[in-house]
């Protein structure tokens, strides 16, 4: 016998950082909110686990102070271009490394404490979203009815597929492979290798008990990602055959200009909110989840839920501006003729290193780098490349 439908003010599908933020904000605003995830927590999520300064700021706004024990602090950064070391930055901004297993569990605990009704191990069987509201059917026979629904169910979002036919354009998004390797040496420095993947990079992110080592980039430009990871691991003295390799898509460079449809709003990876250069997604997941719930609460208070999507799109404009600028810059720094020059300029120029790290850590926005500065840097890179070639030709 079918169970009776349960009415709430807001359904959030997906309890990663985007969904946990959305549910926490909604509950704090006094909404009856159901937070649904197909997984049971704690669960693993493939991720480098770098929580940037920007992410940490957004997390604190939504969840309050999180226990410092969730994070492994890192202050040194090694930069490389394949075999070529580009330098060690000994006084980088504080970067926090986390294990998503513990981190995500801590966030949903906060969502529950704020009053969200959590349902885990819950498989979505059907989503209907009409002009008068949303109906979510779960595989166990439960039906949830709500005037608004937030899809925060990640890169393969079932909500986005139900709404738009597919979650993302596979030709545009990224793919990454990662392993958790035993800690060998320096747990104080993270590494970024701009030569490990095309239109992407390789990373070694130290954690309290392991090293997260991975390569990732635009999927279509790296059909040989497995071989790239194997080479990267060997370069670090890690035997690929001894590692459990896992892969996951990243929706970078494919953000949704209209983040939803009708009564459904998409947040985090489901909305394609991953930085196309750095791959940072946690900050944008937390930010977009919080914005989605705030506009939902406003629209419900005013009795006009149908206006939530337009308000959400407007609220996301600064995030979309960042995504657009990063996508443009990505073409300049990762394109074949310029990548080596960008890396060379980075190796030579401490100010550029500081700016790169500030971007990575969210202390600097792409919007802060005006077009004039970008053109100056590209001009300098091209001139430096031309001078180096001329010197090589003249045998100097």
Ligand X SMILES: Cc1cc2nc3c(=O)[nH]c(=O)nc-3n(C[C@H](O)[C@H](O)[C@H](O)COP(=O)(O)OP(=O)(O)OC[C@H]3O[C@@H](n4cnc5c(N)ncnc54)[C@H](O)[C@@H]3O)c2cc1C
Binding to ligand X by CB under 6 A, coded x per residue (else -) over 112-151, reads ------------x---------------------------
Distance in Å, CB of 20 to ligand X, minimum:
7
- Taking the least distance from each CB to ligand X, the nearer of 147 and 202 is 202
Distance in Å, CB of 3 to ligand X, minimum:
18
CA gap 387, 140 in Å, rounded: 68
Q: Figure out which of the listed residues 12, 26, 34, 50 binds ligand X, where binding follows CB under 6 A.
A: 50
49 binds ligand X (CB under 6 A): yes
Binding residues among 153-172 for ligand X as defined by CB under 6 A:
153-154, 158
- Taking the least distance from each CB to ligand X, the nearer of 15 and 264 is 15
Distance in Å, CB of 295 to ligand X, minimum:
17
* β strands within 147-267, DSSP E: 148-151, 174-181, 189-193, 200-206, 211-218, 246-250, 260-261, 264-266
45 binds ligand X (CB under 6 A): yes
Helix or strand holding residue 95 (H, E): strand 95-98
15 binds ligand X (CB under 6 A): yes
37 binds ligand X (CB under 6 A): yes
Beta-carbon contacts of residue 195 (< 8 Å; ≥ 6 apart): 80, 81, 82, 83, 84, 202, 339, 343
Asked if 19 and 289 count as a contact pair (C-beta separation under 8 A), the reply is yes
Binding residues among 51-110 for ligand X as defined by CB under 6 A:
55
- Contact segment (CB under 6 A) with ligand X among 17-25, 233-241, 302-310, 388-396 equals 17-25
Other CB atoms within a 10 A radius of the CB of residue 200 amount to 28
Asked if 254 and 169 count as a contact pair (C-beta separation under 8 A), the reply is yes
Sheet holding 84-89, edge to edge: 84-89, 76-81, 189-193, 200-206, 211-218, 174-181, 246-250
Distance in Å, CB of 17 to ligand X, minimum:
4
Q: Figure out which of the listed residues 11, 12, 27, 47 binds ligand X, where binding follows CB under 6 A.
A: 47
48 binds ligand X (CB under 6 A): yes
Q: Figure out which of the listed residues 269, 287, 292, 381 binds ligand X, where binding follows CB under 6 A.
A: 269
Binding residues among 284-313 for ligand X as defined by CB under 6 A:
285
Tokens 């459904």: give the residue. Answer: 264
- Contact segment (CB under 6 A) with ligand X among 110-118, 275-283, 331-339, 342-350 equals 275-283
Distance in Å, CB of 360 to ligand X, minimum:
10
Token pair recorded at residue 387: 């001078």
Asked if 200 and 222 count as a contact pair (C-beta separation under 8 A), the reply is yes
What is the size of the binding site for ligand X (CB under 6 A)?
Answer: 38
Question: How do beta strands 10-13 and 33-36 pair?
Answer: parallel
- Taking the least distance from each CB to ligand X, the nearer of 147 and 259 is 259
Residues counted in the chain: 396
DSSP H helical segments within the chain, as ranges? 17-28, 53-63, 100-114, 158-164, 225-235, 282-301, 308-315, 317-334, 336-348, 350-360, 371-393
Binding residues among 202-261 for ligand X as defined by CB under 6 A:
214, 216, 248, 250
Q: Figure out which of the listed residues 23, 27, 93, 178 binds ligand X, where binding follows CB under 6 A.
A: 178
Residues at the contact surface with ligand X, assessed by CB under 6 A = 13-19, 36-39, 45-50, 55, 124, 152-154, 158, 176, 178, 214, 216, 248, 250, 268-270, 274, 279-282, 285
């Amino acid at each position: 016998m079918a169970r009776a439908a349960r009415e709430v003010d807001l359904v959030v599908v997906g309890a990663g950082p985007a969904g946990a933020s959305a549910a926490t904000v909604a509950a704090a605003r006094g909404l009856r909110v159901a937070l649904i995830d197909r997984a049971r927590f704690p669960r693993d999520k493939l991720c480098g686990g770098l929580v940037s300064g920007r992410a940490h700021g957004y997390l604190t706004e939504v969840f309050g102070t999180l226990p410092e024990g969730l994070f492994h602090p890192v202050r040194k950064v090694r930069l490389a271009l394949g075999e070529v070391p580009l330098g060690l930055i000994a006084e980088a901004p504080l970067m926090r490394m986390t294990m998503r297993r513990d981190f995500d569990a801590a966030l949903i605990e906060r969502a529950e404490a704020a009053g969200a009704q959590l349902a885990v191990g819950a498989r979505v069987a059907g989503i209907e979203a009409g002009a008068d509201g949303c109906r979510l059917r779960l595989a166990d026979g439960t039906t949830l009815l709500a005037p608004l629904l937030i899809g925060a169910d990640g890169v393969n979002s079932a909500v986005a597929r139900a709404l738009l036919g597919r979650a993302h354009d596979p030709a545009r998004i990224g793919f990454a492979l990662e392993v958790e390797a035993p800690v060998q040496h320096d747990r104080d420095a993270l590494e970024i290798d701009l030569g490990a993947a095309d239109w992407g990079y390789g990373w070694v992110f130290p954690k309290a008990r392991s090293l997260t080592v991975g390569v990732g980039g635009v999927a279509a430009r790296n059909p040989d990602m497995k071989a790239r990871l194997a080479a990267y691991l060997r370069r670090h003295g890690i035997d690929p055959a001894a590692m459990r390799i896992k892969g996951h898509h990243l929706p970078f460079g494919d953000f949704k200009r209209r983040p939803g449809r009708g009564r459904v709003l998409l947040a985090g990876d489901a909305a394609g909110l991953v930085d196309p250069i750095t791959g940072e997604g946690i900050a944008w997941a937390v930010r977009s989840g919080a914005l989605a719930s705030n506009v939902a609460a406003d629209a419900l208070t005013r009795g006009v839920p149908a206006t939530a999507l337009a308000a959400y799109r407007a609220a996301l404009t600064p995030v979309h501006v960042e995504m657009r600028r990063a996508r443009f810059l990505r073409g300049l720094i990762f394109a074949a003729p310029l990548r080596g020059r960008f890396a060379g300029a980075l190796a030579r120029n401490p100010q550029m290193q500081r700016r790169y790290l500030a971007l990575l850590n969210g202390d600097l926005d792409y919007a802060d780098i005006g077009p004039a500065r970008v053109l100056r840097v590209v001009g300098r890179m091209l001139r430096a490349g031309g001078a180096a070639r001329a010197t090589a030709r003249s045998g100097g």
